[in-house]
Amino acid sequence: MPHPTTTPTPRICPNCDGFATAAITTGSRDQHGHRHTITANCPTCQGHGTVPANRVREAARA
């Protein structure tokens, strides 16, 4: 009987800890008094919050 193949589940991005997009205020306000914001995405996961699971461990080798 063949074994079912499973895809590895993605893991949380180590650079942003899953908080992939941040809203940053520019410091200026519009005529209604609202702050202008820009969004910044994590460069490692491109705003997804997860990265593909690797089979190779990311540890130092002796």
For residue range 39-55, list pLDDT tens digits in order. Answer: 999 999 999 999 887 65
User: Is residue 27's pLDDT more than 60?
Assistant: yes
User: Are residues 30 and 46 in contact, defined by beta-carbon separation less than 8 angstroms?
Assistant: no
User: Is residue 24's pLDDT more than 60?
Assistant: yes
The pTM (predicted TM-score) of the whole model is: 0.59
* Rounded Cα gap, residues 60 and 7, in angstroms: 26
User: Is residue 9's pLDDT more than 70?
Assistant: yes
User: Is residue 11's pLDDT more than 70?
Assistant: yes
For 9, the 3-state DSSP assignment is coil
> Comparing C-alpha atoms, which of 23, 22, 20 is closest to residue 50?
20
Give the model's pLDDT for residue 56: 46
> Comparing C-alpha atoms, which of 40, 55, 56, 51 is closest to residue 15?
51
